[in-house]
Structures are given as structure tokens and as C-alpha cells.
Amino acid sequence: SIGVAGHAARNEGENALYKAIKDIEWIQHHRFDKVSDLLGEVKMTVTSIHTDNKQHNVVPAHVQFLIDVRVNELYTFEEIVDVMKANIDATIMPRSTRLKSTSISLEHPIVQSGIQLGRSYYGSPTTSDKALMPFPTLKIGPGDSARSHTADEFIHIDEIKQGIELYIQLLKNVL
């Protein structure tokens, strides 16, 4: 968000933080119309906000904030960016639009193998290199996803052993 610097005591300038707050409120409350049966709604989360101000009494002229956007398969990133540009004042600069939402048919043999083994399926709102693979892929792994990206992320040895056994059984059912 762009404003105009000024002295806070004299009520000068145009506070870029206030402009950013309006944009962030829109991001927080906006709901896209198309909801996926598998992935649900498009999710937008502001994850960081920054101003270069080093003094407490300066009205900030520039504020940057990061938005984590999780797109379902019913929208392209370009469509989401267009809607955002039409509704917020801030300049939008996507880091990347190359990782698209992906899915694998529930009829695919590897998915059917997992179902036979009592595994459930769901759409993951996370991102991985899977999105870059030009063939059907399944994202599955040992451990607890709730521990991902935490300060003390870990996996138990038993979970790794169980994961190896699961992979072997999945493949045996398919081959």
C-alpha cells in the first residue's frame, strides 16, 4: 500500500497502514463464488505485514503485506489476481502462478488401492512439487500433517516404518 509520509503529531501524510487495513479486511472477508467439492473455498490469508519505518512518530508511506492464496481447481491464479486487483488498492505482485491445483481420479488404480486398504481421501489445501508433474500423482505420506511447518516439526520412527509398509501394500495391489 502506498501513502504519503508525514509527522504523526501534526496529522500529516496519508497513512499507508490504514489503506492496507482496508485491503486486509477485504481479503479476510471476501468469499469467491465457486466452492470445490474436493478442496472447498479459495483461501486467502495475510501472513506478514511490514513497513520500513524506524521511528514511532512517522506516518508510513509504504506498507507491504503477504497473502497466502490457496486456489481450488475451479479458478486459475490469474482469475483470482484479477478479482483482487478490482477490489483492493494495494499493488499486487504474485510470487508465482506456476503451481496449479491438481487432482487424481478416484477411479485411478493407486487411489482404489488406498481405498481397499481402508484409507480415506481428501483434497489437500497444501502446495507441493506434485503440481509440476505432468502425470497422475498421489500425495501421501507418513506422520501427522498438523506437525508440518511447526517450530518442532518431527516424525516418529514408527510412522516411517508404517509409511513404508503402506507404500509397499499400495503398489502390490496395483502391480
Which domains does the chain show, CATH number per domain? 6-87 (3.30.70.360), 109-174 (1.10.150.900)
In tens, the pLDDT along 83-105 reads: 999 999 999 999 888 777 788 88
Q: Provide the CB-side half-sphere exposure for 78 (13 A, CA).
A: 1
**102 phi, psi to nearest 5 deg:** -130, 160
Confidence (pLDDT) at 97: 82
Distance of CA 43 to the CA centre of its chain: 7
Cα separation of 80 and 78, whole Å?
5
Cα separation of 81 and 92, whole Å?
8
Reported in sequence order, the residue ranges of the chain that DSSP labels E, i.e. its strands, are 6-7, 43-51, 58-59, 63-70
Q: Which residue has the higher pLDDT, 100 or 7?
A: 7
Q: How confident is the model at residue 69 (pLDDT cuts 50, 70, 90)?
A: very high
Q: Which residue has the higher pLDDT, 150 or 21?
A: 21
What percent of the chain is modeled with pLDDT above 90? 66
Average pLDDT of 110-138?
87
Average pLDDT of 47-74?
93
Q: Select from 82, 92, 66 the least CA-distant residue to 32.
A: 82
Average per-residue pLDDT in the chain? 92
Residue 127 confidence (pLDDT) above 80: no
Strands 43-51, 63-70: pairing kind: antiparallel
Confidence (pLDDT) at 96: 83
Cα separation of 142 and 160, whole Å?
6
Q: Select from 28, 26, 29, 31 the least CA-distant residue to 41.
A: 31
Please state the pTM of the whole predicted model.
0.78
Average pLDDT of 74-90?
95
Q: Which residue has the higher pLDDT, 97 or 175?
A: 175
